[in-house]
Amino acid sequence: MAREKSSFLDDLLDIFTKLPWWVGALAAILSYISLHQYAISEAPEISVGDHQFEGVTGQLSRQFAGVFQYIIPFVCLLGAGLSLFHFKRKRDMLERQTSLNSIKQLSWREFEELVGEYYRRQGYTVTETEAGPDGGVDLVLQKDTEKTLVQCKQWKKSKVGVSIIREIFGVMKADHASHAIVVTTGEFTKDAESFAKQNNIELIGGNSLISLIGSVKSNVDDNQEKIESPELVLCPKCNSAMVIRVAKKGTNPGQKFWGCEKFPKCRGSRAIP
């Protein structure tokens, strides 16, 4: 199905939704000031013999400016609001991840956003592409002058084979990128690992991914450690994932134990051997 053509305002909204929220807010202010000043300015007069006429083009353009002085800033502010909403949503989504199992429950798009948020916290400028659940490069990372291509594979059953690594290698060369990374919730075949090693492509499997996500989390409280283990432990009461906590009170202060991620709603616990 052919994609419907978008209007100028649709494109403008899409642009500011993808940019940092403050860019849209600043654009709203500047666009209102410039359009308002033009709308209230006097159009130059055109002399025809002994008569002075105001140019038709000048009249129409000022009328349009009078209307768009409100429409364009509104679209910019709407894009800024959506940008801020998506920023908070991605941030909170990363903070909620407690195990590899929770990551596997995400949709393919959320998985890509999670990986993008990780690299954003590592200081990269992240661009999300429109490739889809199984199509080529998903993220483009930029830091200084280096460009890195990232492909995300949320495969729950089969391993990522060498054909996928060869594909990203070809795109990396054609796009003149410095590096390439393939991220999966599962594992890689031996052939894939061998080809990646020979061609300087970084592979991140599920066990490594959960550790990386845990390393950039910011909302870990005093009673909960950052994720350091890919082990999945389920709560005996509600069957949710468990996280490592440290006892502050009781008979064994300072001792680590498995506590339910839904604490304090659920107080399920397990001892750590």
Q: What confidence tens digit (pLDDT) does each residue in 86-96 have?
A: 889 998 999 88
Tokens of 132: 């889809």
Q: What is the pLDDT of residue 33?
A: 95
Q: Which of 96, 113, 146 is the last residue of a domain?
A: 96
Q: Which of 21-35, 54-68, 109-123, 250-264 has the least mean pLDDT?
A: 250-264
Domains identified in the chain, total number = 3
Taking CA atoms, 1 is separated from 10, 135, 171, 225, 246, in Å, by: 20, 18, 26, 49, 55
> Do 38 and 75 reside in the same domain of the chain?
yes
Among 50-54, 67-71, 127-131, the range of highest mean pLDDT: 67-71
CA torsion through residues 124, 127, 132, 137, sign: negative
Task: Phi first, then psi: give them for residue 246, nearest 5 degrees.
Answer: -125, 125
Pair (84, 107) in one structural domain: no
pLDDT above 90 for 157: no
What is the mean predicted confidence (pLDDT) over 230-249?
Answer: 71
Q: What is the pLDDT of residue 240?
A: 75
pLDDT at 231: 53
- Helix, strand, coil shares, percent, the chain, to 5: 45, 20, 35
Please indicate, yes or no, whether residues 104 and 207 belong to a single structural domain of this protein. yes
**Cα angle: 138, vertex 160, 97; to 5 degrees:** 60
Q: What is the CATH number of the domain that holds 159?
A: 3.40.1350.10
Same domain, 111 and 92: no
Domain that holds residue 260: 233-273
Last-in-domain residue among 96, 130, 163: 96
Classify residue 224: in a domain, yes or no.
no
| 176 and 139 part of one domain | yes
Same domain for 245 and 162?
Answer: no
Number of helical (H) and strand (E) elements in the chain, helices listed first: 8, 10
Please tell me whether residues 118 and 207 are part of one structural domain: yes
**Which contacts (CB < 8 Å, 24+ apart) does range 103-107 have?**
103/185, 103/206, 103/209, 103/210, 103/213, 104/154, 104/156, 104/185, 104/206, 106/154
* 109 and 192 share one domain: yes
**Residue 196 belongs to a domain:** yes
Together in a domain, 149 and 191: yes
pLDDT at 200: 86
Give residue 31's pLDDT. 94
Q: Is the pLDDT of residue 46 over 70?
A: no
Q: How far apart are CA 118 and CA 112, in angstroms?
A: 10
Q: Domain boundary at 62, 96, 130, which?
A: 96
3-state secondary structure of 268: coil
- Looking at residue 230, its pLDDT comes to 46
Instruction: Say what the pTM is.
Output: 0.65
pLDDT of residue 225: 47
pLDDT, position 131: 59
Residue 101 banded pLDDT, cuts 50, 70, 90: confident
pLDDT at 48: 55
Q: Is residue 217 part of a domain?
A: no
Q: In this structure, are 60 and 146 located in the same domain?
A: no
Report yes or no on 187 lying in a domain: yes
Q: Is residue 221 part of a domain?
A: no
Between 94 and 256, where is the model more confident? 94
Q: Over the chain, what is the mean pLDDT?
A: 82
Asked, for residue 218, whether it belongs to a domain, the answer is no
pLDDT confidence of residue 269: 83
- Whether 223 maps to a domain, the answer reads no
Three-state secondary structure call for residue 155? coil
Q: Same domain for 54 and 30?
A: yes
What's the CA gap between 151 and 107, in Å, rounded? Answer: 15
Choice between 41 and 150, residue whose per-residue pLDDT is larger: 150
The verdict on residue 249 lying in a domain is yes
Side chain identity at residue 88, one-letter code: K
- Please tell me whether residues 169 and 268 are part of one structural domain: no
Tokens 């209307």 correspond to 67
**Range picked from 36-40, 71-75, 204-208 for highest mean pLDDT:** 71-75
How does residue 234 score in pLDDT terms, banded at 50, 70 and 90?
A: confident
Give the pLDDT confidence of 188-228 residue by residue, as tens digits: 999 999 999 999 899 999 888 888 888 787 754 444 444 44
